[in-house]
């Protein structure tokens, strides 16, 4: 398989990153972050989640965030929806793309969405049918594909079963997520090869958390399988409230550095991206998790 010469980066920091913050982040900060990411050239920015505020209070301002951002033509601003109620709220907020999110294990499905895998799929079936009938695009995420905090090892066939179901109900892309960042390149390859027996590889995306420092290695393994879409989080923000100890996604700056170095086109401006990361880290009172942003900060301007 030839490595793709163009990659689509899906920025998930405003959602995956900020959903995990203990402090309430004002909607105005989220809006400025998304606008800065738009200016940096991100083609897709996962903006927020229309989920139960009792479960994830940080995303309770989803409608305000969608109303405040400056949407650029050609840029996607998908939002997570767990059920019909979330879809209805997303449509009312003018969203044109939603993300349904299932899991490869029963235990994680219960913790994250309070239902079994099949109950979740039944909800997503309804969400997909309604969303697609109204002209929205639907992406399908699958959690814990490379390891589960409750069940441990996950067989590729568990992932493939859910991926096939989501693809059959009309998801235009299936995201293989390593929620706890425990996967390694061998596991990544095994899962992608299994899923790709049933779904075109062009419809598969990678979403790698970096808990064990494997996310870029897993990205390279996925690239070698032909995957050309990757989720990442500016400044490496985030984690999942239902996967304790898991850190953020691979930092977008670090992913971009690797892809730039490999001559793979993304259309993203590194300096503006680093500035967006600095902005959100300052707002949160936090050090960046991006190795590239840290290295750049230590260099004199002329050497950048």
Residues labelled as active-site residues: 240
Q: Is 173 a binder of ligand HMG (CB under 6 A)? A: no
**Dihedral sign from CA coordinates of 207, 274, 96, 93:** positive
Binds ligand HMG (CB under 6 A): choice among 25, 100, 148, 177 = 177
The reply on whether position 114 binds ligand HMG by CB under 6 A is yes
Dihedral over Cα of 255, 182, 282, 58: its sign: positive
Q: Is 60 helix (H, G, I), strand (E, B) or coil?
A: coil
110 contacts ligand HMG (rule: CB under 6 A): no
48 binds, among Mg ion, ligand HMG, none (CB under 5 to 8 A by kind): none
Three-state DSSP string of 110-162: HHHHCCCHHHHHHHHHHHHHHHHHCCCEEEEEEECCCCECCCECCCHHHHHHH
183/46 Cα distance (integer angstroms): 23
Contact flags string 5-44 toward ligand HMG, x per CB under 6 A: -----------x--x-------------------------
**CA–CA separation, 242 vs 114, rounded Å?**
11
Comparing CB distances to ligand HMG, the nearer of 68 and 241 is 241
* 77/242 with CB nearer ligand HMG: 242
How distant, in Å, are the alpha carbons of 17, 30, 65, 76, 213 from that of 71? Answer: 20, 14, 11, 8, 33
Note whether 16 binds Mg ion by CB under 5 A: yes
Residue 45 tokens read as: 């920015």
Q: Looking at 3-11, 28-36, 48-56, 196-204, which segment touches ligand HMG (CB under 6 A)?
A: 48-56
Nearer to ligand HMG, 141 or 210 (CB): 141
**112 lines the binding site for ligand HMG (CB under 6 A):** yes
Q: Does 178 bind Mg ion (CB under 5 A)?
A: no
Q: Could you list the residues that contact Mg ion (CB under 5 A)? A: 16
């Amino acid at each position: 398989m030839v490595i793709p010469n163009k990659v689509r980066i899906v920025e998930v920091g405003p959602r995956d990153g900020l959903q995990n913050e203990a402090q309430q982040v004002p909607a105005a900060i989220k809006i400025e972050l998304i606008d800065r990411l738009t200016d940096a050239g991100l083609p897709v920015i996962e903006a927020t989640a229309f989920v139960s505020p009792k479960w994830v209070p940080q995303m309770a301002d989803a409608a305000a965030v969608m109303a405040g951002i400056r949407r650029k033509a050609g840029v996607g601003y998908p939002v997570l929806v767990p059920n019909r109620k979330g879809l209805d709220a997303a449509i009312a907020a003018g969203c044109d793309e939603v993300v349904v999110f299932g899991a490869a294990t029963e235990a994680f499905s219960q913790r994250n969405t309070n239902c079994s895998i099949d109950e979740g799929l039944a909800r997503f079936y309804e969400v997909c049918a309604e969303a697609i009938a109204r002209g929205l695009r639907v992406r399908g995420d699958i959690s814990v594909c490379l390891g589960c905090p409750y069940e441990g090892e996950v067989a590729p066939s568990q992932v493939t079963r859910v991926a096939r179901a989501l693809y059959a109900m009309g998801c235009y892309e299936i995201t293989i997520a390593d929620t706890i960042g425990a996967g390694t390149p061998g596991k990544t390859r095994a899962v992608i090869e299994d899923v790709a027996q049933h779904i075109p590889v062009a419809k598969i995306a990678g979403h790698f958390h970096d808990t064990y420092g494997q996310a870029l290695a897993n990205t390279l393994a996925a690239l070698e399988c032909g995957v050309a879409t990757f989720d990442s989080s500016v400044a490496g923000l985030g984690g999942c409230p239902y996967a304790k100890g898991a850190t953020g996604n691979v930092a977008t700056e670090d992913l971009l550095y690797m892809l730039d170095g490999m001559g793979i086109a993304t259309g993203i401006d590194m300096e503006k991206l680093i500035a967006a990361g600095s902005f959100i880290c300052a707002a949160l009172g936090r050090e960046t998790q991006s190795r590239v942003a840290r290295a750049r900060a230590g260099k004199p301007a002329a050497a950048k």
